[in-house]
Copies of this chain bind each other. A is one copy, B any other.
Amino acid sequence: MTNDTMITVRQTARPDGFPTPGDFAFVESPVPAPEPGTALVENLQWSVDPYHREAMDSDLLWTLNSPMEGRTLGRVLDSRDPSLRPGDLVLHRKGWRTHSLVSRGEVRPVPDLGPGVPLAAHLSILGGTGLSAYVGLTRIARLKPGEDLFVSAAAGGVGTAAGRIARLLGAGRLVGSAGSARKVAYLTEEIGFDAAFDYHEGPVAELLAKAAPEGLDAVLDGVGGAHLEASIASLREHGRIAWVGAVAQYHSLSTPPPAPHNLFDLVGKSIRLEGFLVRDHMDAQEELYDLAVPHLRSGALPLDVTEAKGFEHIVDAFLGMLGGENLGKMLVTA
Which A residues are within 8 Å of any B CB, using their own CB?
A: 224, 228, 238, 243-245, 250, 256, 258-261, 263-277, 280
Whose C-beta in chain B lies nearest to the C-beta of A276? B270
What are 20 A-B pairs with beta-carbon distances under 8 A? A243-B267, A244-B267, A245-B264, A245-B267, A250-B264, A256-B263, A256-B264, A258-B259, A259-B259, A259-B263, A263-B263, A266-B273, A266-B275, A267-B276, A267-B277, A269-B275, A270-B274, A270-B275, A272-B273, A273-B273
A2 to chain B, nearest CB (A): 43
Residues of chain B with a CB closer than 8 A to A271's CB:
274-275
CA distance A263 to B256 in the complex (A): 9
Residues of chain B with a CB closer than 8 A to A238's CB:
280
Residues of chain B with a CB closer than 8 A to A228's CB:
263
B267 touching A275 by the CB < 8 A rule?
A: yes
A255 to chain B, nearest CB (A): 9
Residues of chain B with a CB closer than 8 A to A245's CB:
264, 267-268
B264 touching A261 by the CB < 8 A rule?
A: no
CA distance A243 to B244 in the complex (A): 21
CA distance A228 to B263 in the complex (A): 11
A274 touching B273 by the CB < 8 A rule?
A: yes
Known contacts A245-B264, A266-B274, A272-B272, then 19 further A-B pairs from the complex at CB < 8 Å, ordered by chain A residue = A228-B263, A238-B280, A243-B267, A245-B267, A245-B268, A250-B264, A256-B263, A258-B259, A259-B260, A259-B261, A267-B275, A269-B275, A270-B274, A270-B275, A270-B276, A270-B280, A271-B275, A272-B273, A273-B274
Residues of chain B with a CB closer than 8 A to A258's CB:
259
Whose C-beta in chain B lies nearest to the C-beta of A281? B270
Residues of chain B with a CB closer than 8 A to A275's CB:
265-272
Residues of chain B with a CB closer than 8 A to A266's CB:
243, 273-275
Residues of chain B with a CB closer than 8 A to A268's CB:
245, 275, 277
Residues of chain B with a CB closer than 8 A to A276's CB:
267, 270
Whose C-beta in chain B lies nearest to the C-beta of A238? B280
Whose C-beta in chain B lies nearest to the C-beta of A272? B274
CA distance A34 to B265 in the complex (A): 41
CA distance A44 to B259 in the complex (A): 45
CA distance A234 to B270 in the complex (A): 23
Between A224, A243, A263, the greatest number of chain B beta carbons within 10 A of the residue's beta carbon is seen for A263
Residues of chain B with a CB closer than 8 A to A244's CB:
267
CA distance A245 to B224 in the complex (A): 23
CA distance A224 to B266 in the complex (A): 11
A249 to chain B, nearest CB (A): 12
CA distance A243 to B265 in the complex (A): 10
A187 to chain B, nearest CB (A): 23
Residues of chain B with a CB closer than 8 A to A243's CB:
266-267
Residues of chain B with a CB closer than 8 A to A259's CB:
258-261, 263
